[in-house]
Structure 1
Amino acid sequence: MTFDLAQETSKVLTELGVAAERYQGGTLSVTSPVTGAEIGRLKEHSAAEAKAAIDRAHEAFLEWRAVPAPKRGELIRLLGEELRAGKAALGRLVSIEVGKITSEGLGEVQEMIDICDFAVGLSRQLYGLTIATERSEHRMMESWHPLGAIGIISAFNFPVAVWSWNAALAMVCGNSTVWKPSEKTPLTALAVQALFEKALKRYIAEGGTAPANLSTLLIGGRDVGEVLVDHPKIPLVSATGSTAMGRAVGPRLANRFARAVLELGGNNAAIVCPSADLDLTLRGVAFSAMGTAGQRCTSLRRLFVHDSVYDQLVPRLQKAYGSVMIGNPLEAGTLVGPLIDKPAFDKMQSALSAARAEGGKVTGGDRVETDGSADAYYVRPALVEMPSQTGPVVEETFAPILYVIKYSDFDVVLALHNAVPQGLSSSIFTNDIREAETFVSARGSDCGIANINIGPSGAEIGGAFGGEKETGGGRESGSDAWKAYMRRSTNTINYGKTLPLAQGVKFDVE
């Protein structure tokens, strides 16, 4: 890897409209996992600056909420256009800053485009209800209103898509947004903010009305995040990250009666049944477990294989694990890029050591040396055959480790599937309709996402995304997730001349 990644990063940022002073000369060092080299230095916001920025975002909300929702949707339509025009450059930047392979970097930007399309349609569909009332000459209905300045805390693994899930919906709902990206991936945030500002400029030039500070970007660490969580003018914080982060954020929001959308850990599993199509299963498991170097919230981490097909499937998986192309994610043919940093590598090795101590048989998991990447952490994905679901199997390790466990009874494996603290995504590979329907029934998977004959990883924006238990219970993106960014008002209108009371109450006065 002899190319100058810092120079390429600067070129891409310039193409996307980010001024050099935004990522040079600051205190926050940003390194690329591709080489381990520094690619930027950003100026960080102080706590005082963050508070002032949130106050300005609140003022922007007070103005934006009065703009009709379809007009707000027009701004998001223009944002989608800017994302389309900048897709190649922004996708490249995602790959540089996160280490995703090229198709995944581009795919993340496509996800942003898709949610913009969804939000534009939503801007004309913020439906309330008309409700039957027991009182004559009365009408009862519910209305939905903007909530305020929405806080967004995003993680490194999807540095821009998660922002768009929240921001596109929040803005068409009439809210402003305040975004604190991960300290590991702030360059992509600068680029997205530049594209948003370009869309906003076009929107105003075309006659739209919009305030300044509609989208605010805060650069910094935990202290800035704490300001966002504790600020009284932030009525909702959508936070993506570890369960430990959620345990810190959740109570602080609850203490001031603010809302939380928490997207936390996922120890996702798949069940391979006797009737499974093993060719399809192999492909589904390979992508879910090895894609993004196992650094997706929805990555497959536990695989339960029926004993009748175990000896057919597992050797094929071991072969795939041994032959998958690992290396520079910017080069064609690569399927597995690097881990984000050394701490991620160390946690992976610790988990593998714990698995061996529990009787696990490990295939892979070793560091892969790539030319010119002494400070980068490439690893061969690890497949670990475990005698039972113990030790590190019940914990989430954000790395490409797949624990494989043999089973024989369907009811027992369902119980094992659900016997972890996390509840994000899940899947089953079967051609048995009873097994498939049971898996998605009330007594089946206890996760927020339950799939049949596809892996747990790679959700579309049309469905609500999120999970149960220690995953936090939040929902983002599609379906009716928009309701989280609004407040509900129940309205009763008396258009008659009498005043009947509900439940037959009488209270007559002269």
Structure 2
Amino acid sequence: MSLPEEVLAKHRSVADDVVGEEVYGHLIGGEWVESDGGETRTTHDSTTGEALAEVQQGTRSDVDRAVAAAREAFEGRWGEKSPQQRADLLHEIADVVEEEKTSIARLDSLEVGKPNKHSLLVDNTIVVDQLRHFASLARTADSGRCPPAGEDKHIYTRREPYGVVGCISAWNFPAMFVAWKLGPALAAGNSVVYKPSSRAALSTLELGRIFDRVLPDGTVNVVTGAGGVVGDALTAHEDVAKVSLTGSTGAGQAAMRNAANRVAPVSLELGGNNPNIVFPDADLDDAVEGALVAMLFNQGQQCTAGSRLFVHEDVRDEFCERLYARLDELEVGDPLSPLTDVGPLVDHDHADEVRGYVETARQEGASVLYEGEIPDELRDAPFVPPTLLGDVDDDDTVAVEEVFGPVAALFAFESRAEVLARANDTEFGLAAAVWTTDLDRAHEVAADLEAGTVWVNTYNDLFEPAPYGGYKQSGLGRELAAEALDDYSRTKSVKMNHGDVPNLG
């Protein structure tokens, strides 16, 4: 890759500061260990392509070791912790993460290409917030309720952990997903075996170091490697009592099949092709800002991306004029620069996939309404410029499949009934957004949209702890809020009789 020496030097300097090991081991039972297979994989700087570190290529036996360590912790020192003790430890972890979040954010900027201001101010802020949120919920994690009972009887319920939870995450928000999964899993009292994406493991491994520093050995274990090996071994393991996965629909289906053999519960956060709807009474400046976030946050590499932009025909021209002006103002550049709004994609393979979607759209009759510029000095990095497509039909490829890049398709609509039918005409149902100043319309449209999250006059707002998850092929279960704690625990009913024993007559 031919990049300016000043870019290469900056990235090498940051990598020297934040990459903790030349060769990372698996974290198993409180120890950093090599894979049984003896193989490693090189992880790369997404911008420069240069090597960052080596990570283990896990095997099934590595997963067996990690599950055994997690089981021992659950049955031992970790399982003995009270809800208050679990809460205190999660707060302690959050304190350490807060101290080290700048380094963690830079790891994600290096390995995934996230603009550093996003990885620091958004992703790692959410990491700390989630850990503190579930630390607070942990205090009542196993408290139940007392249903009404007849005379001489007492009934109560208990919320109990599953035991060993297997967690698998995607590459697009590596640090954030750790808190999304470990926060509720640990608050509920489970131990965990965690598999990060092969494309982005470094921030997970460094966060694993922090968790392990605070928690009993084996409470959190991290095994790196291929999804077809480590992921399959984890989701199929007979001692993994619960599975949580963030990834593609195909990965979710594979996890469900593996878990079905032992009827283990599965939580899934999968893909999306989400509608972002602008009504004619919307504040257009706000709606334009929302469209930018929907389309370009994390370079569009997000399951919640608002990649189908529906704008009422009465305001379409004015909206586009304002949108193009704002797109021109955005800084496309080095993710380590504090000025960058849009960075590179995770790697060249993925960039080629996204460009392929744009080319397919052209072949199917789409026009390019807007295409941004890539700085000349970064043209050898895996950038795809912000791209807005027009003349797209509802059944075209980009309107049906998840592009996962800085690309959106613009659609005009005439009526509420029309746009609702078109917005819901998808196999996905993760998120949607509505822009309107009419409160009644906002409530009615939100009720009719088939999505797990509907934002009104905002987009990608995940800071408040509201439940997050999908409908249809976008997943099962909920994250980010108290409902997530329910997903990581199970209910036991206890019925006590203080009177006569029932008999057959």
TM-score by length of 2: 0.92
1:364 offset after TM fit, Å? 4.3
**Which residue in the other structure is 1:204 paired with?**
none
1:395 offset after TM fit, Å? 1.0
Q: Any gaps of 5 or more consecutive residues in structure 2?
A: 1-6, 26-33
Q: Is the 8 A contact 1:102 1:329 kept in 2?
A: yes
Q: Distance in 2 between the 1:214 and 1:122 partners? A: 19
**Which residue in the other structure is 1:137 paired with?**
152
**Which residue in the other structure is 2:89 paired with?**
75
**Which residue in the other structure is 1:447 paired with?**
451
Question: What SS does the aligned partner of 1:368 have?
Answer: coil
Q: Distance in 1 between the 2:254 and 2:439 partners? A: 42
Q: Distance in 2 between the 1:359 and 1:118 partners? A: 48
1:468 corresponds to which of 439, 454, 471: 471
Question: What SS does the aligned partner of 2:239 have?
Answer: coil
Q: Is the 8 A contact 2:266 2:476 kept in 1?
A: no
The answer to whether 1:170 aligns with 2:191 is no
Q: Is the 8 A contact 1:82 1:198 kept in 2?
A: no
Q: Is the 8 A contact 2:285 2:322 kept in 1?
A: no
Pair 1:461–1:235, CA change in 2 (3 A): farther
**Which residue in the other structure is 1:416 paired with?**
422
Q: Is the 8 A contact 2:159 2:489 kept in 1?
A: yes
**Which residue in the other structure is 2:30 paired with?**
none
Question: What SS does the aligned partner of 1:151 have?
Answer: strand
The answer to whether 1:190 aligns with 2:205 is yes
1:112 corresponds to which of 117, 127, 134: 127
2:62 corresponds to which of 27, 33, 49: 49
1:280 corresponds to which of 266, 282, 286: 286
Question: What SS does the aligned partner of 2:354 have?
Answer: helix
AA of the residue aligned to 2:356: S
Q: How many residues align?
A: 483
Q: Distance in 1 between the 2:260 and 2:371 partners? A: 40
Q: Is the 8 A contact 2:310 2:411 kept in 1?
A: yes
The answer to whether 1:381 aligns with 2:386 is yes
Q: Distance in 2 between the 1:460 and 1:250 partners? A: 29
Q: Distance in 1 between the 2:58 and 2:49 partners? A: 25
**Which residue in the other structure is 1:480 paired with?**
483
Question: What SS does the aligned partner of 2:8 have?
Answer: coil
1:327 offset after TM fit, Å? 0.8
Q: Is the 8 A contact 1:181 1:189 kept in 2?
A: yes
Q: Is the 8 A contact 2:23 2:53 kept in 1?
A: no
The answer to whether 1:425 aligns with 2:431 is yes
Q: Is the 8 A contact 1:6 1:38 kept in 2?
A: no
Structure 1 ranges of 4+ moved more than 4 A: 23-26, 364-367
AA of the residue aligned to 2:70: A
1:220 offset after TM fit, Å? 0.8
1:267 offset after TM fit, Å? 0.7
Q: Distance in 1 between the 2:425 and 2:183 partners? A: 35
1:370 offset after TM fit, Å? 4.5
1:4 offset after TM fit, Å? 5.4
Alignment root-mean-square deviation, CA: 1.9
The answer to whether 1:102 aligns with 2:107 is no
Q: Is the 8 A contact 1:170 1:482 kept in 2?
A: yes
Q: Distance in 1 between the 2:329 and 2:185 partners? A: 44
1:26 offset after TM fit, Å? 6.0
Question: What SS does the aligned partner of 1:216 have?
Answer: strand
Q: Distance in 1 between the 2:250 and 2:337 partners? A: 35
TM-score by length of 1: 0.91
Q: Distance in 2 between the 1:314 and 1:233 partners? A: 54
Q: Select between 183-192 and 57-66 the one with higher mean Cα deviation.
A: 57-66
Question: What SS does the aligned partner of 2:158 have?
Answer: strand
CA deviation digits over 1:293-342, x for unaligned, max 9?
10111111001111110111012222333442111011121100001112
The answer to whether 1:66 aligns with 2:80 is yes
**Which residue in the other structure is 2:174 paired with?**
159
Q: Is the 8 A contact 1:12 1:89 kept in 2?
A: yes
**Which residue in the other structure is 1:289 paired with?**
295
Q: Is the 8 A contact 1:253 1:260 kept in 2?
A: yes
